[in-house]
Amino acid sequence: MSKYSTSFKQSVVAFYGGGARSLQEVSAYFGIEHSTVRTWVAMHAAHGVDGLVRKFGHYTAEFKLSVLRRMWEDGLSYRRTAALFNLRNKSCLPDWERRYKAGGIDALMPRRRGRPRSMPEPPVLSDKTDAPQSDEAKSREELLAELAYLRMENAYLKKLEALTQARQAPTRRKPSRR
């Protein structure tokens, strides 16, 4: 949830009145930072009420590059560029700029969020050559390798069951020395 509602932002912009009051007066009256008021006023001036609405979504690499080119060509500041393109905040622009200079347009592609997968995806069985073979079709070495694997798996499961049973058994206390 947003810290400030859209109606509150509209009331702040209306109270500012297009410069009738200073940013410091408005920020003191509402108890918010004057830089926040400046951002809201700029967003409202450039995009109207839509500039004050909270947005969700991702930007394409082409859009990011067009924003950076416009900023470089016109010599715009980060704050002015963010207001012009209705970006959520200006702090993404230096990151885009740094990534573009380091790796080109490929570095501007949206990145996957969250923790990376720890396990690879299982292989897809596409044709019959990858399908499991019947026991008659396997060679002696393949059957012996499978038997050894199954014996090892069985021993492991027996050991695991023994450990869980030992953990569940009540522990006896030593008698005290009285």
Q: What is the pLDDT along the chain (178 residues), one digit of tens a residue?
A: 368 888 888 888 888 887 788 888 888 998 999 888 888 888 888 888 887 887 767 888 999 999 999 999 999 999 889 888 888 778 889 999 999 999 888 888 887 778 877 888 877 766 555 556 788 888 899 999 999 999 999 999 999 999 988 888 766 677 777 6
Q: 10 Å Cβ neighbour count for 124? A: 6
CB-based contact 9:52 (threshold 8 Å): yes
Would you state the pLDDT for residue 130? 53
Q: Which two tokens stand for residue 103?
A: 């790796």
Q: Which amino acid is at 87?
A: L
Please give the model's pTM, rounded to 2 decimal places.
0.47
Q: How far is CA 150 from CA 77, 103, 139, 153, in A?
A: 66, 49, 17, 5
* Dist. CA 88–CA 78, nearest whole Å: 12
Q: How far is CA 72 from CA 8, 57, 84, 103, 110, in A?
A: 34, 24, 14, 18, 22
